[in-house]
């Protein structure tokens, strides 16, 4: 970790940004009191993220077909009485 004061940050910002890109963390201080931290952002993902945890996983075409009506009704609470007494 690199600690610098604001005057140095102003005069050598490009140098310290290069250090950040190389993995360093830079703490910027005012009168030797830390006020900010410069660190690299996470790299952006290139390409699409695979589905699921298994990177080689393949989904069958049927996965994308609509669910049967009785199953949809079950998700929406249809077909079952509310066990709580009415008031």
* Residue 12 CB neighbour total at 10 angstroms: 13
In-domain check, residue 25? yes
The tally of domains found in the chain comes to: 1
77 pLDDT more than 70: yes
Higher pLDDT, 59 or 68: 68
In-domain check, residue 75? no
Residues sharing a CB contact under 8 Å with residue 29, sequence separation 6 or more, in sequence order: 3, 4, 5, 6, 35
Among the ranges given (20-29, 32-41, 78-87), the one the predictor scored with the smallest mean pLDDT = 78-87
- pLDDT for 85 equals 67
In-domain check, residue 29? yes
Please state, in angstroms and rounded to a whole number, the distance separating the CA atoms of residues 22 and 40. Answer: 8
Q: Is the pTM value of this prediction over 0.75?
A: no
- Domain of residue 21, CATH code: 3.40.1620
Residue 28's domain comprises 2-38
Phi, psi of 82 (to 5 degrees): -75, 120
């Amino acid at each position: 970790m690199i600690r610098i004061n604001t005057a140095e940050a102003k005069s050598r910002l490009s140098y310290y940004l290069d250090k950040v890109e190389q993995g360093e963390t830079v703490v910027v201080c005012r009168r030797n009191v830390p006020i900010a931290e410069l660190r690299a952002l996470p790299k952006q993902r290139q390409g699409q993220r695979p589905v699921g945890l298994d990177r080689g996983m393949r989904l069958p075409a049927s996965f994308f077909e609509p669910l049967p009506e009785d199953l949809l009704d079950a998700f929406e609470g249809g077909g079952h009485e509310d066990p709580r007494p009415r008031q």
